[in-house]
Amino acid sequence: MNREIVLDTETTGLSPAMGDKLVEIGCVELINHIPSGRHYHVYLNPQRSMPEEAFRVHGLSEEFLADKPLFKAVAGDFLDFIGDATLIIHNAPFDMGFLNAELERAGHRPLANTVIDTVMLAREKHPGARVSLDALCKHYGIDNSRRTLHGALLDSEILAEVYLELIGGKQVSLALIAETRISGAEAIATRTVVAPRPTPLPSRLTADEELAHERLVATLGAESIWAQYADVAGPLRATQ
């Protein structure tokens, strides 16, 4: 199983060395390059003022963050969630610098996870092109209309889509399914846990075609792959 965590943060500024702190962490889990539906999200009290320039970027005020937990209170949960997964980050040195500074202050060791920087991936794939998240969304036709302000969880969700396009798009998940080393119903059940499309694709089958397929499946026996899939997805309609 290939587990990756797409990660983004929001901060009070540009430099942890100058006293800037994390104010938000958002993570999205990918299993075999497919969103699993699991995520991690937290707002943080930075215990310092919020510069106007940072507020204009993410809209998180001192008042809003005043009752949020300190990083050291959630560090364990954060580390448990990411585990040893590969981290997918846009402009990774920025986020990693803040995360490791916060971890050090909280008495933890710096992260040793493998990190993939999607800025570097984008520069390799599109030399000379703009590689901001908004520019990549436009290039790949990814809807980022909700991104009126930066938000760590929303940006992680969008970055997950961008990352999959950078490494080969929708064909990646098809290739990985073909390489899966588990068999039969277990493989089918594993794939059913991923998050569904926001808007399901309409069926191209007519009612007669669906009924003909179900009658065919009924003749294949209980051990067939189609019958096992029916057990996971729901019982077949009664044939007539």
**219 shares its domain with 142:** no
Could you tell me the residue range of the domain that residue 225 belongs to? 183-233
DSSP 8-state code for residue 62:
H
What CATH number corresponds to the domain at position 122? 3.30.420.10
**10 shares its domain with 43:** yes
Q: Domain end: 151, 175, 199, which one?
A: 175
Give the tokens for residue 97. 């610098």
CA distance 232 to 93: 43
Whether residue 16 is contained in a domain is answered as: yes
pLDDT on residue 186: 41
pTM for the full model?
A: 0.71
Give the tokens for residue 61. 């005020």
Whether residue 238 is contained in a domain is answered as: no
Q: What are the backbone angles phi and psi of residue 115, rounded to the nearest 5°?
A: -125, 130
- Can you list the residues of the chain whose pLDDT is less than 50? 174-175, 177-197, 232-240
**38 shares its domain with 128:** yes
| Cα Rg of the chain, angstroms | 22
pLDDT on residue 118: 98
**33 shares its domain with 78:** yes
Active site residues per annotation: 150
pLDDT on residue 203: 58
pLDDT on residue 79: 98
Q: How many domains does the chain have?
A: 2
DSSP 8-state code for residue 18:
G
Task: Confirm if 61 and 43 have CB atoms less than 8 A apart.
Answer: no
